[in-house]
Structure 1
Amino acid sequence: MITPEVQKLLIPTLKKYFGYDSFRSQQEAIIQNVLSGSDSLVIMPTGGGKSICFQLPALLLNGVTLVISPLIALMKDQVDGLNANGIPAAYVNSSLADAERNTILENIADKKLKLVYVAPESLSYLSTVINEENVSCIAIDEAHCISSWGHDFRPSYQQLGFLKNQLPKIPIIALTATADKATRDDILNQLNISEAKQFISSFDRKNIHLEVRPANDRINQVIDFIEQHPNESGIIYCLSRKTTEQIASKLQQNGISAKAYHAGLNFNERSSIQEEFIFDKTPIICATIAFGMGIDKSNVRWVVHYNMPKNIEGYYQEIGRSGRDGLNAKALLFHSYADVIQLRKFIDGSTNEEVQIAKLDRMKQFTEATTCRRKILLSYFGELKEENCGNCDVCENPPQFIDGTIIAQKALSAVTRLQEKEAVGIVIDVLRGAKNATVIDRGYNHIKTYGMGADTSWKDWQHYIIQLINQGYLEIAFHKHNALQLTDFSKKVLFEKEQVLLSKPVEISRNVTDKITKKSKKTKDSLFELLRKLRYNISLEENIPAYLIFNDATLREIEQERPLSDEAFLAISGVGQRKLEVYGAEFIDVIRTFLEEKKKKPKKKDTSLVTYELYQEGLTIEEIALKRDLKDTTIFSHIAKLYSEGKDIDIYQFISKEEVEQIRKAKQALENPEGLKVYFEHFEEKVSYATIRLALTVIEVES
């Protein structure tokens, strides 16, 4: 247990250094466990606030907290973030000169540092200071790397068990975003902390919208998606280096700023691209899964999986790199059987092949789901959710099912006639009556089912056949060049007329319109954009990423609250004492200038008053509509509004008293109906909407 004095310091320390007034779920309990000297295993989703669980105790403990991290390239970013909050921190890795390392060792011994980040391979540099006098806590980040059951195994992590043996009284906190039970047990055993208290948070990242689409015309879908999310930062994950290069090139050709990132680049190239992304100079990165681990960039607004990931753990961790600030984010995943086949090739011959195949199957089931995707995702991690999430594509557009028995019979017949030797592509070509070389050379244009499905598009056939595979009517023989083969269930459809239900293909509309451009222009001069511009300029001056100054969620709150005093600025979530002192005056100046400029701008004239001025000049309804480039019905609605407001309008110039009475009787007969449409239908569409609107206005004014 921690003392009451230390307990009283928790919230003030949280506010002073991190800018928050309260802890998130489980954070306080984890911090108390660390401060009491006990070991902890923390499973908390990306963006859930893992870092504070060891960074805050570090400030209250007497000594340095060692943070073991595999992310050498990102240590500077993490240390910069701490220093920006007024927390003395450093990192040690092979890139430092001897003099720099010696200075850090001296600072550790003199208790001038609170946190030191180090990779497992670099622990030897600290051997002279790793003792119970200097070290107050050990945090092992990305702890799943220690386990061969984990999705990102790092052999260098397996040496870390010595830390507990060497420093038995020092608390160890192991943290990861994703770990199933087998991985959790492995972490505890290998770190020699089997008695550690486990803290497992909800895996539900409610702010991330989940969507899965078939991989048809992927690149154009991606371009459309990006154009619908202008000025936003995102990551596109791919299976191969070549694909990252191709997509980045295609995006650049379409005027979109993007770069490729993969292991084929040298260290300097990778570091440069990563830094450009972190500093908002390159908003979009096309990457293999090597990119993004540990990046604390809070303003990534979307993640696209161009190819299907090999398991749900990887998918979950990668989508978790978006929306870390708690604002809305999107996760778009494309899936195809070509990806499944490619991933199966990667798995073949691996040491834990059966486990990997089972995990790939679960990933495949997720992509093909016809029920709430978040439920499936959470259940994988042992978290059950009763209600549908309402924030995934399936919840928003539940699939529509049709009687697909005849479609199924055609597909199964084609597989039969092809003697179960051909893969999906050839089967579809035969069904559609294709005249390509493969079909003609193999004589498939002479079989009975050739052209039987010519009235159905290629991608729709693909959609239907995938469902037949999912429902067990067909299977893929991966060991026979991915040939489609019949199953025991196939006979029921072919010979016993068993009904097959199939979901209708969903069309993805290309709806990029002028609205996006208009929205961009409208937001250009918004307070949020002005605050963002200031943040970016400060980041360049200080050479730290913009989100380390304030994240987007904090900027949104500043935009909404518009604080004009130090006290009001400090009340914003994410503003600590140091950030108030360093940045407060500049941000308050921008808010004050914005409000003063807003006062100077003349208010837009009420559009109905413009109509009134033209009416007073003697123009007819038609002439006003022509002059204002509006419809007659709009001008009539203005006239009705002006008359109800008491303006000098000769209303009976536009409607007769007989028409008013006619509408009055209809109103009584219909017992005060709502809306104009009811009247329009009552009069069998013979009385115009304009007449109905004017008459109802007269009735209201006269009553």
Structure 2
Amino acid sequence: MEVKKSLFDNLQNFFGFEKFKGEQEEIITSILSGNDTFVIMPTGGGKSMCYQLPALMSDGTAIVISPLIALMKNQVDQLRAFGSTDSIAHFLNSSLNKTETAKVKQDVLSGETKLLYVAPESLSKQENIDFLRDIDISFVAVDEAHCISEWGHDFRPEYRKIRQIIGQLGENIPIIALTATATPKVQQDIQKNLQMQNSQVFKSSFNRPNLFYEIRPKKNELKEIIKYIKSQNGKAGIIYCLSRKKVEEVAETLNVNGIKALPYHAGLDANTRATTQDKFLMEDVQVIVATIAFGMGIDKPDVRFVIHYDMPKSMEGYYQETGRAGRDGGEGNCIAFYDQKDIDKLAKFMKDKPVSEREIGTQILKEVIDYAESSVCRRKQILHYFGESYNESSCSNMCDNCRSPKERFEAEADLLAVLRLINTLGENFDAEHIINILAGLEDAEMNTFSHDEMPEFGSGKDRGVVIWKSVLRQAVIHNFLGKDIDSYGILKLTKYGKSFIDAPYSIKFIINTDFDKIKASDDDEVKGGGGALDDVLLGMLKDLRKKIAKQKNIPPFVIFQDPSLEEMASQYPINMDELKQISGVGNGKAMRYGAPFIELIKKYVEENDIDRPQDMVVKSTVNKSSLKVSIIQNIDRQIPLDDIASSKGLGMPALIQEIESIVSSGTKLNLNYYIDDVIDEDKQDEVFDYFRTAEEDSIDLALAELGEGDYSREEIQLMRIKFLSELGN
């Protein structure tokens, strides 16, 4: 293989760099020398350079096998920008039409193309194998090589056939396999499958010293996320969720709360996904909310935070996704929200998979739980997982466990009590039942089995439920117990558990108070308020409302209702985005009446040196927004309200409440088509005149004034909606 110029000349000529990164030079020299080469290099380490430069320097065309169409396009665009002609790099995949495919093949055959990116599915097509046999192949690069292994986080069966196909393309073609995540087990799998046991292996450190790792309990997580993003001053970030539905919900909630966000998942068409990526790259949007499909095909160096709304299914997935933060060496914060319920859900999904797949999946998931619940340095755990030893003193407090060490307790006696009890019960019960026995908690199952009569019942009452949960959970993590997913989480003793019963020894466990004490409560979604009510400011806001009402000759409540003013007096909104987050203030009302209120609050905050609550109330329209849109559309089409209520599964009072909410937030609705049918014109005029002069918009006061015998509550409510819509909006 002819090397046309020195490595450094080519590095500078093609890419404009003065020096290589890490082991790039040795890797490139290895593949140029015709050696099979295996590269394990973390995201951001410069993996693509390891095959791009030797391809540009070699005779013939390098075949790059990659599973991601977006990644291919991104890299081809970059190479064309460096090169003098577009034909220098091409991709061959299902996104091309016949004419485009013919053009690619023509450029490759003419010798103009130095890199040809191929998806594994395209590679296995016989017509493409026949075509590639006829060209001069410099080497084959297998990118994302972890896809070969069932133990990898992104296993793809078609990757298993790659070696067989390369054998059909010609003899002694050098292979370079590259991956950003490989445990020792995955590494062996890749080498064995690609028949590269004698390859030169280059393994870079997986340590990313600029990344801060943190696990938070999953409680009020949307509020936490919004509060965090607002503190980031517009810095770019990615939020990962496990389901498409959750991606859509979180993206919508962020937008409603004044954060520019877009969803990204495989359910969106290719054009939408490409546009979304471009908007993120061009900083037209601050946050992408995505399934794991996002981030692998783009190279944005200044992502400043990666948030896992849900814990990922594997440590490889977690490492790769967090690795998208701080690729320029700058700040990168990695926050994951953890809840045992999410893990249980993932375990349940695996229940119906084939036994071998389920066993592998369960072990991979166990590593995630171990990581989330452990008090050990996060960095040490990540690097240990990838077969790298690490001294946690080097972490420099760049993880939550090193920054705030958790409390430990001597657990020998507690663990022994748990294991002995499970053994006595014949390994037939789950963790909850074991905890209830030790803590002395009665339930139906306890009475059924007469376990409340056992000597162990209540024997650990003084230790408390939190300690027993901590012991049970960590007994599983440390492999004293196994959890049988098939049998709904029944606990079984492992060989380590049995030997501990025979010969117990001192062992320290952590009190996992963060995760054990926190239960999702009904008030997780904050409805309003958040700070203490400022009575002085509230009085000033009411005076301002009265003054504007007089100028416009409308009652004060038409402008903003009392609950909205009270929320303003506790949250201190000082710009339009913050004002729109106040309940009862939609876009219309904010634009029409908001400016003087913002001005007053801003001045008041400055003059009184007010420390504003940073976590503005999370305004949640998720799950409700589609209902509201549908109601508005039905009213526009003049569908009778009782028909709308019936079609939405609502009673009339609930529907009227939804309509009131829409109107009081500033949206104009015309209900005349319905009101004219159910309320006499004279009665309408009387109620309208009453509200025109009323100090308050109370239905009870209106009924008392107008006569309860003459009007129903529903009629007054409908007329109040008409009044607010016509005068206020």
Q: Given the two structures, how large is their TM-score scaled by the length of structure 1?
A: 0.61
The aligned residue for residue 65 of structure 2 is 68
Any conservation in 2 of the 1:475–1:487 contact (CA below 8 Å)? yes
5 Å-filtered alignment, 1:30-179, equals 30-86=27-83, 88-123=88-123, 124=125, 126-127=128-129, 129-131=131-133, 133-161=135-163, 162-179=165-182
Pairwise mapping of residues 107-506 of structure 1 onto structure 2 (< 5 A)? 107-123=107-123, 124=125, 126-127=128-129, 129-131=131-133, 133-161=135-163, 162-348=165-351, 349-350=353-354, 351-388=356-393, 389-390=395-396, 391-401=398-408, 466-467=473-474, 470=477, 478-482=485-489, 503=510
Q: CA 1:404–1:175 in structure 2 vs 1: closer, same or farther (change >3 Å)? A: closer
Q: Is the 8 A contact 1:431 1:454 kept in 2?
A: no
SS in 1 for 2:5: helix
What amino acid does structure 2 have at the position aligned with 1:364?
I
Give secondary structure in 2 for the equivalent of 1:230: coil
The answer to whether the Cα contact below 8 Å between 1:295 and 1:321 also exists between their aligned partners in 2 is no
Change (3 A) 1:324 1:460: farther
* Structure 1 residue ranges without an equivalent (≥5): 514-626, 630-703
RMSD, aligned α-carbons = 4.7
Aligned CA distance change for structure 1 residues 250 and 32 (closer, same or farther; 3 Å): same
Q: Secondary structure at the match of 1:25?
A: coil
Q: 1:163 to 1:402 in 2, by over 3 A?
A: closer
Q: Could you tell me which amino acid in structure 1 is paired with residue 5 of structure 2?
A: V
Q: Cα gap change, 1:220/1:431 in structure 2, threshold over 3 Å: closer, same or farther?
A: farther
Asked if the contact 1:212–1:335 (Cα under 8 Å) also holds between the matched residues in 2, the reply is yes
What is the deviation of 1:41? 1.5
The residue identity in structure 2 corresponding to 1:397 is S
Q: 1:28 aligns with which of 25, 30, 36?
A: 25
For 2:113, the aligned partner's letter is L
Partner of 1:6: 5
Higher mean alpha-carbon deviation, 226-235 vs 273-282, is at 273-282
Q: Distance in 1 between matches of 2:198 and 2:420?
A: 60
Cα deviation 1:520-569 (Å, max 9, x = unaligned): xxxxxxxxxxxxxxxxxxxxxxxxxxxxxxxxxxxxxxxxxxxxxxxxxx
Alignment-mate amino acid for residue 363 of structure 1: V
Give the 3 Å change call, closer, same or farther, for CA 422–188 of structure 1 in structure 2.
closer
The alpha-carbon distance between structure 1 residues 488 and 67, as it changes in their structure 2 partners (threshold 3 A), is closer
Q: Is the 8 A contact 2:43 2:324 kept in 1?
A: yes
User: How far, CA to CA, are the matches of 2:18 and 2:145 in structure 1?
Assistant: 29
Q: Tell me the secondary structure at the aligned position of residue 132 of structure 2.
A: coil
SS of aligned partner of 1:70: coil
How far, CA to CA, are the matches of 1:331 and 1:308 in structure 2? 12
Q: 1:352 to 1:467 in 2, by over 3 A?
A: closer
Q: How many residues align?
A: 509
How many angstroms does 1:486 deviate by?
A: 10
Which amino acid counterpart does residue 377 of structure 1 have in structure 2?
Answer: I
Query: Closer, same or farther in 2 for the Cα pair 1:505/1:224, shift >3 Å?
Result: farther
Q: CA deviation at 1:141?
A: 0.9
1:533-682 alignment, distance < 5 Å: none
Q: Decide whether aligned partners of structure 1 residues 193 and 490 sit closer, same or farther in structure 2, where only a CA change above 3 A counts.
A: closer
Segment of structure 1 superposing worse, 101-110 or 290-299: 290-299
Deviation for aligned residue 1:220: 2.3
Percent identical among aligned pairs is: 40
**Secondary structure class of the residue paired with 1:38:** coil
Mapped partners of 1:118, 1:220: distance in 2: 43
SS of corresponding position for 1:160: helix
Asked if the contact 2:2–2:58 (Cα under 8 Å) also holds between the matched residues in 1, the reply is: no
Unaligned runs of 5+ in 2: 516-529, 531-606, 610-729
User: How far apart in 1 are the matches of 2:414 and 2:250?
Assistant: 35
Contact 2:215 2:372 in 1 (8 A): yes
Deviation at 1:212, TM superposition (A): 1.8
Whether the 8 Å contact between 1:144 and 1:152 is mirrored in structure 2 is yes
Aligned mates of 1:152, 1:71 — CA distance in 2: 12
Structure 1: how far apart are the matches of 2:113 and 2:368?
Answer: 44
Shift in CA distance, 127/437, structure 1 to aligned 2, threshold 3 Å? same
Amino acid in the other structure paired with 1:286: V
Question: Residues 363-396 of structure 1, C-alpha deviation per residue, up to 9 Å, x if partnerless?
Answer: 2222222222212211222211234322211122
| Distance in 1 (alpha carbons) for counterparts of 2:149 and 2:420 | 47
Change (3 A) 1:325 1:133: same
**CA–CA separation in structure 2 for the residues paired with 1:194 and 1:17:** 32
Change (3 A) 1:136 1:219: same
Contact residue 439 and residue 457 of structure 2 kept, 8 A: no
The CA distance in 2 between the partners of 1:171 and 1:410, in whole Å, is 59
- The aligned amino acid for 1:22 is K
2:217–2:514 contact (8 Å) kept in structure 1: no
- The answer to whether the Cα contact below 8 Å between 1:410 and 1:453 also exists between their aligned partners in 2 is no
Deviations 1:107-162 (A, max 9, x none): 22222222222212223465565247533222111122233333212222233222
Distance 1:266 1:438 in 2: 50
Q: Deviations over 1:438-488 (max 9, x none)?
A: 999x999999999x99999x9999667645765789875644544689999
Equivalent AA in structure 2 for residue 380 of structure 1:
Y
Q: Within 1, Cα distance between the matches of 2:495 and 2:33?
A: 61
Residues 472, 191 of structure 1: alpha-carbon distance in 2 compared, 3 angstrom cutoff:
closer
Deviation at 1:27, TM superposition (A): 0.6
- Structure 1 residues 422 and 216, CA gap change in structure 2 (3 angstroms): farther
Give the residue type in structure 1 aligned to 2:381. Answer: I
Q: Deviations over 1:419-454 (max 9, x none)?
A: 9999778999999999999999x999999999x999
Is the 8 Å Cα contact of residues 55 and 138 (structure 2) preserved in structure 1?
yes
**Which amino acid is 2:51 matched to?**
F
Q: Are residues 97 and 274 of structure 1, via their aligned partners in 2, closer, same or farther at CA, if it must alter by over 3 Å?
A: same
Q: What residue is the counterpart of 1:617 in the other structure? A: none
Whole-Å separation in 2 of the counterparts to 1:201 and 1:499? 37
Higher RCO structure, 1 or 2 (CA under 8 Å, sep 6+): 1
Letter in 1 for 2:27: I
Q: Tell me the CA shift for residue 202 of structure 1.
A: 1.6
Q: Give the Å deviation of 1:169.
A: 4.1
Equivalents in 2 of 1:115, 1:239: separation in Å? 34
Distance in 2 between residues matched to 1:355 and 1:166, nearest whole Å: 34
In the TM superposition, residue 69 of structure 1 has moved relative to its aligned partner by 1.0
Deviation (angstroms), 1:52: 0.3
What secondary structure sits across from 1:130 in the alignment?
helix
406-415 vs 478-487, which moves further: 406-415
Deviation at 1:54, TM superposition (A): 0.7
TM-superposed deviation, 1:218? 2.3
Cα distance 1:60–1:475, how it changes in 2: closer, same or farther (>3 A)? Answer: closer
Structure 1 residues 646-685: Cα deviation after superposition (integer angstroms, max 9, x where no partner): xxxxxxxxxxxxxxxxxxxxxxxxxxxxxxxxxxxxxxxx
SS at match of 1:6: coil
**SS of alignment partner, residue 81 of structure 1:** helix
